[in-house]
Structures are given as structure tokens and as C-alpha cells.
Amino acid sequence: MVSKGQHVRGRIIDAANRLFYERGFNRTSFSDIADAADIPRGNFYYYFKSKDEILGAVIDARLDDISTMLEGWNETIDSPRDRLKRYLKIAINEAPEVVLHGCPMGSLNQELIKGQLAPREHARKMFDLFGSWLEQQFRALGKSKDVASDLARHLQGRMQGIALLGAAYSDTEFITREVRQLTRWLEEL
Amino acid sequence: MVSKGQHVRGRIIDAANRLFYERGFNRTSFSDIADAADIPRGNFYYYFKSKDEILGAVIDARLDDISTMLEGWNETIDSPRDRLKRYLKIAINEAPEVVLHGCPMGSLNQELIKGQLAPREHARKMFDLFGSWLEQQFRALGKSKDVASDLARHLQGRMQGIALLGAAYSDTEFITREVRQLTRWLEEL
């Protein structure tokens, strides 16, 4: 059973997650989060002492979500190539949000790159998770470890570029076109 | 001749430009800029009333720099393919800074995507400048207007993805490898 405290904590993390994505981490204040989670300021400090603590919890929650998603794909999709195509589909499925706010993972990393080392490295773990999963799929396609690792980073870069230009120009057609190209690239690999 | 006022104004813009790049726009305060430009707070307001005004001036300065650079390339590099290769070289030349702070243009756009429409559209003009120049080069290579426009956005996306993953992993080798791939792609185009 989830206790009331865990429930409140979860509500704070959900609210912060949403705000960090829509407004950005740096433009979201401690009190924005308290307001969005609808929690009195006084209670709030019981759960989190600083915005950085909330950031840590948000990244952990996102890491959990990513892991669950990737494990789900491993269980339900047999072929590594189809798994990689499922990964590409994120860009299509999330396009309506991406054109408004960019990629949640990419934009948070971009913000934190300009900040302190610890949160920067924590946020990068999201890229790491996808990266090692992608590498496994390329390995399963018969690529050597080095090649698979390069292909994984290459594909992550492609997806990030698609998200950023797609968002800058609110261009879902661009996203669709690029994903189609990447799909062909995967098929020929 | 440059008046003292213009000189001070230029110093403020340079300091803000640097800070927006290294720390990000949202993490840079009005007084950070005054301090970095070494200008008394009182004098400062004579030149700029708000951080948004400084942002506008910084983007205008960057747009001027980009125009000058592209015109320079048009004058000194004859072949459109070599011009496109010169564009790719930005990623190599700027790699030491990119791995620390990301791409100046991409990271500012990424920040502003989550903000108000006017600065967002102003920042996008940097992408527009490069985009229409790239399109001209692809046209000169014999591509139709539509294809040239798609190739331009594709290439900008690729470069942004390279900058973001390169920065997240402080990985200059990745940048070099990706630029090599893009060079081959250009040669086969």
C-alpha cells in the first residue's frame, strides 16, 4: 500500500516533472512546484529541502519510467530491428508535445550541461539507459561491441537533432520525414 | 568612429553573450551581466531596461556575426560542396567549447522554446539564416527547391544532435566521427 506521505511525494514529483518539461528547470521555482502540486509551502519542506533535491527525484522517476518501457519492449517485441523501430516511434508518438517543448530528456540535459557537474551527470543517465539498450539491439543485429556503441550514440544524436529542429519550427512533418529516413537506414543496416 | 556609449553598449552585449552561452539565459541575472561587463548598476539601466532587451541585442549581434561569416564563405569558397564542408567544420573547430556548453545557437533556442513566443521566434532567426544559406548551396548542387530545403533542415538537425550528444558526453571523438560521416554523405549527394 502507498502511504499518504508517499502519495504526496509522488504528487510533488509529478508536478515538478511536468513543469521542468514545459517551462524548463531553471524557470521553475520551488513555489511554482508547491502551487502546481497544491501543497502548502510548510508541508512541502518536509518532503524536499531544495529544488535540486526535487530534480534528483524527477530524474530518478524518469529513469524508472524509461527502464520499465525498455523492459516492456524487450518482452513484447522479438526482433531487435523491430525494437529499434519502436524506439524511433517515440518521436512520432510524442511529436505533438515535442514541437511545443522539445524532447524531455534532451532539453533537461541541455539545460544542465551549463550547470553543476552532479545534476549534469545524473541527467545523462537517461541517455545512458537508452544508449546501452540501443547498443544491445545493434549487438543482436550482429554488430561488434565498438560498432554497436557508435551506432547507438549516432542514433541518439539523430533523434535529438530531430526533436530540436522539430520544436524550433513546430514542424511535425519534418519529424515524420526524418523518422522515415531513419527507418530505411535501420532496414539497410 | 565608435562613441563611448556604443562602446559600453557593445561591452554589455559581449558579456551577456558569453554568459548566456556558458551559464544559459535563464541562469544569468541582470546583475551578473553588469558585473561581468564591469559597469555600475546605475549606468547599466541607461543602456538596457530589462534582460529581455539584452537578449534581443545579443541575438541581433549573433545574427550579424553569422551573416558576416556566411558572406565571407560565399566570397572565399567557390564550390557549394566545399562551402557545405566548411559549415561542417564549425563542429570540429568549436568542439572544445561545444563539449563544455553545447552549441550556442542550439542551446539558446532550446531554452527559449520553453518560453515566450517573441524571443523564441527571434532566436530561431539564427537557424533561419543558416537554413537559407544551406538551401542555396544545395540548390547550387542541382537540387530542387523542396529537396534543398529538406536537406538544409536535415543537416541542421544532424549538427544539433552532434552538439548535444557531444556535450552530454564531453565526447570530441564522437563529434569528429559524425562530421566524417556527414562529409561522406555530402560527397555522395
Minimum mean pLDDT range among A4-13, B142-151, B180-189:
A4-13
Q: What is the mean pLDDT of chain A?
A: 95
For A35, residues 6+ apart whose C-beta sits below 8 A from its C-beta are none
**Interchain CB contact of A162 with B (< 8 Å):** yes
Mutation pick from A22, A29, A113, A159 vs chain B, by most beta carbons of B within 10 Å, is A113
Is A41's pLDDT higher than 90? no
In B, which residues are within 8 Å of A107 by CB distance? 110, 113-114
Which residues of chain A are within 8 Å of residue B114 when distances are taken between CB atoms?
Answer: 22-24, 27, 101-102, 107
Residue A2 has pLDDT above 80, yes or no: no
**% residues pLDDT > 90 (chain A):** 89
- Provide the shortest C-alpha distance from residue B157 to chain A (in Å): 4
Give me the pLDDT at residue B40, please.
Answer: 85
Q: Does A23 contact B169 at a Cβ distance shorter than 8 Å?
A: no
Instruction: Identify the pLDDT of residue B115.
Output: 87
B11-54, pLDDT tens digit by residue? Answer: 999 999 999 999 999 999 988 999 999 988 888 889 999 999 99
The pLDDT > 90 percentage for chain B reads 89
ipTM reported for the complex surpasses 0.90:
yes
Suggest the residue from A160, A180, A181 to mutate for an interface test with chain B (most B CBs closer than 10 A).
A160
Of residues B7 and A18, more confidence is placed in A18
How close B17 comes to chain A (CA, Å)? Answer: 14
Instruction: Locate all alpha helices (DSSP H) within chain B, ordered by sequence.
Output: 4-22, 30-37, 41-47, 51-76, 80-93, 95-101, 104-113, 117-140, 145-168, 172-188
Query: In chain A, whose CA is at the least distance from the CA of B124?
Result: A168
Exposed, middle or buried by CB within 10 Å (0-12, 13-18, 19+), for B79?
A: exposed
Cell of A53: 533535491
Task: Indicate if the pLDDT at residue B3 is higher than 90.
Answer: no
- CB nearest B157 (choices: A115, A127, A165): A165
B137 touches chain A (CB under 8 A): no
For residue A1, what pLDDT is reported? 60
Of the candidates B150, B164, B167, which has its C-beta nearest A177's C-beta?
B150
Residue-wise pLDDT tens digits, B46-72: 999 999 999 999 999 999 999 999 999
Spell out the long-range contacts of A58-63 with Cβ–Cβ below 8 A and sequence spacing 24 or more.
Answer: A58/A13, A58/A16, A58/A17, A58/A20, A59/A108, A59/A119, A59/A122, A59/A123, A59/A125, A59/A126, A61/A13, A61/A17, A62/A17, A62/A104, A62/A105, A62/A126, A63/A125, A63/A126, A63/A129
User: Do A91 and A104 meet the contact criterion of CB atoms below 8 Å apart?
Assistant: no
Cα of A180 to nearest chain B Cα, Å: 12
Average confidence (pLDDT) over A84-110: 97
Degrees to nearest 5, angle at CA A150 with A149 and A153: 90
Report pLDDT digits (tens) over B79-93. 999 999 999 999 999
Instruction: Tell me which of B134 and B6 has the higher pLDDT.
Output: B134
Give the mean model confidence (pLDDT) for residues A106-125.
94
Q: Are B162 and B174 spatial neighbours (Cβ–Cβ below 8 Å)?
A: yes
pLDDT for residue A5 is more than 90: no
Which site among A29, A153, A173, A189 would you substitute to test the B interface, given the most B Cβ atoms closer than 10 Å to its Cβ? A153
Angle formed by the axes of helices B80-93 and B172-188, to 10°? Answer: 170
What is the pLDDT at residue A47? 93
Average pLDDT on A108-121 reads 93
For the ranges A4-8, A56-60, A63-67, B78-82, which has the lowest average pLDDT? A4-8
| B153 lies within 8 A of chain A by CB | yes
- Whole-number Cα distances in Å, B9 to A123, B5, B13, B37: 37, 6, 6, 9
Q: Residue B113: which of A30, A19, A25, A169 has the closest Cα?
A: A169
Check residue B76 and give its pLDDT: 98
B53 is written with which cell numbers? Answer: 532587451
pLDDT at B124: 97
| % residues pLDDT > 70 (chain A) | 99
For residue B167, the model assigns a pLDDT of 97
Cell of B38: 564591469
- Which residues of A are less than 8 Å from B165 in CB distance? 127, 153, 156-157, 160
Residue type present at position A179? V
The answer to whether A156 touches B169, Cβ cutoff 8 Å, is no
Q: Is residue B1 over pLDDT 70? A: no
Q: What is residue A40's predicted lDDT score, i.e. its pLDDT?
A: 85
Residues of B in contact with A108 (CB under 8 A): none
CB contact under 8 A, A113 and B101: yes
